[in-house]
Each structure stands twice: as structure tokens, then as C-alpha cells.
Structure 1
């Protein structure tokens, strides 16, 4: 059964009642939620569950999932989703630049460490700081790629290594093999506030964004990057 905080709303069905909030306003909203008693780690856990739910809708028959997890809080959502999908019987490989104990962003580090806890952990493969050959080999086995590299705070014209290589490899698999890509909160490389794209930007089949829609995701030039837009309210009423 789908958890209430994992409910997904297609954006065309959410309009006109759902909110569109600037990126800074969403950050402020998260802080208000935390101050009201819902820790940010709990909010991240809900987000990861929602990502996993979206993944099962895109790939309902099971199979192999590669989660590209950045070192920030977007990556934390990816760690939670990886564990959740492994629990559901998917063959999951999580790609990370750093081992979980070496992450510094919170609550991403706590979420990653929790995903590795025994005995409740369902095993998934962790690929740490892969070179291009190893990354390409992992992605070649995927039925679905989850892009949890860069979040809504990204606002640059270039993506730094190794994430530029990760984006390029994911897009190549989508173009050549038809592997579908699910973006977490915002396609990596896209400015969630303006809709402008960096030199390397994920081309997603679907984007699941949390709490409220961001204006850049609705920009006409962003449509080719976002794919279908899904909103995950995360059980939060204020937006």
C-alpha cells in the first residue's frame, strides 16, 4: 500500500490548487516545517519514499535501477529511495562520489548511514567514485536511472566533475538504449528557479519535485529536460 506521504500528483491534475514557490521560499518552508516539529531527516525520508513510488510507476515490472546520488541533500533522497526499492525487490546500484560516512551535508549523511544499518537493511550495490568505464558498465544494465545528483540549489552554467560525466553517461543510455530517467526534485544541471540549463543537463522522462512546484520546471525551455512533472506534497499541508 502506498504511504500517504508517498502520494504523487501529476502536475496537470494539481493545477490550479497546488502552489508554485521560488526555490528560496521552499527552503524557508522546509525550515518552518522543521521548527514546527518535523525534522528534516523525516522530510528526506518521506521524499525518498516518494521517489521510490515514482520509480515503481515508471518501472512496475521490477528490474535493475541505478541511483546516481550526489553528495548533497538531493543525494540523500537517492539513498533513501535506493533502500526502499531494494526492499521492494529491485536490483539497485547506488553510485556515489563519497562513502556514506564521508558525506558532510545533513540530513543526507544521516539518511545514507540509516540506509546502511543492519539488520533491517536490504542489500544494494554501492559503486563509489567510479571511472567512466565502471559507470558506463553499471548504467548499461539499468532499466531505470534515478537522477539524485544536483538539487534545486544548482544555479551554474557548468557542472563539475565527476557529475558532468554521470549526466553524460545517463543521457547516452537514454538516447541509445531507451533507459528511462527519473529526476529527483529537478533534473541535474537545470536551474529550478529560471529553467535555464547548464552545459550538461539530465534529460528526464519524469521529474518528481517535493512540497511545491518550482518556477523553472514550468519554463517552456525546461519541458524537454523535465519530462512528466509529478508533485510530492510529502504529507505537508502548508505550501
Structure 2
């Protein structure tokens, strides 16, 4: 068993297996969008993929039940589409504290493409939403995205090391403001994209309303929020 700082113990072997599967799925997604194999090979690969899907679907949780490895109290989400080690969609971002805020690096492949050769603008928004929200959490606060504004100054290139930053810039009552940017790792002070947003901590009655059906693997009520 293994514990995050302040988090509930979890099965280290299961975490390693979920991480391995997530990595394999990301490799598969990347290969699928780059592949130039003929149609027959694509159909054979599709059949293999359906076999794997059936194997994984042999036992599934309802969407109202958190994965066994998740812990809302420390905001550990293994299938988060930005940071989840088990997610086929996530880069995933490995976020760390630095200079009073958060920083992460990423290199995004063709699976994230919008304009040819560049990252989809919606992907930039997804990354910034996650990172700014994480900065709010790192400051000891919690909230749900109430507003997010992005400035797209230059296109974000694919297959190029990027640096992402975020920090809290203000807090009043239940509202917290955060700001951040995406830049080339080789030119971190020149933002390609900047972002600013507000996070609002829901009132207790709203938390109950929004997350009334959410449970952990044992069936216990497990809403997000600070403990």
C-alpha cells in the first residue's frame, strides 16, 4: 500500500498497472493519428482494439462511483483528462510548485492538433482550466470554474516542449482569481497563450446538490472539496 501526503492509502501495484495502461493507450492514440498503414492493417488493428475493449469492459464501475485509486480529499484523479496517469486523453501534465505558483511541462503530439502543425485552441483552454484550478487548490482553497478567459497571441506548435505556469492572483470570500500562461520551453517569458479565471467555492447546499450521487468504491459519499 502507498499513501499520498494527507491522502488515503492505495494499492501501489494497482496504481502502477493503471499508469502502465494509460501510457500504452497514449502510445496507441499517437500511433493511430500518425499511421499510414493500408486499410487492411487499420481494420485488423480495429479488431484488436475491440478485443482489448471487451477485456476491460468485463468489470466496470458506474459513473457515479469514483475509481478505486481516486481520493477527492487530496484531489487525486487517475483518469483526469489533463493530469490523469491512467487517461488516454491526458498528456499527462506533471505539475509542481515553483516561484509561488505551479509549473508544468508538456509536448503535445498530433492527437491534440487543431490548425495543421499546431495545438487545438480548445486543448489550450483545457490545460489552462486544469492548471489554474490546481493553483487554487495549491493555495489551500477550492472552487469550481466560474469564468475563464484566454488570450491567443501566437499558435502553439505541436511536438515542441512547452512550459505552463499558473498562480493565484486574488481571493475574496468564496471567489479566487488565478492567472497563467503557455509558452515555449526555450522562451518561457513570451506567452503564446495567457489565461485568467475565477473559481468559486460552492455553498454546502450546492455541493450536496451537485454531488449527491457520488461515492467511493466502498459506497461512501465522496464529494470533492477541502477536508
> TM-score scaled to structure 2, two decimals?
0.26
Q: Which has the higher helix share?
A: 1
Q: Which has the higher strand share?
A: 2
> TM-score scaled to structure 1, two decimals?
0.25
Higher RCO (CA < 8 A, seq sep 6+): 1
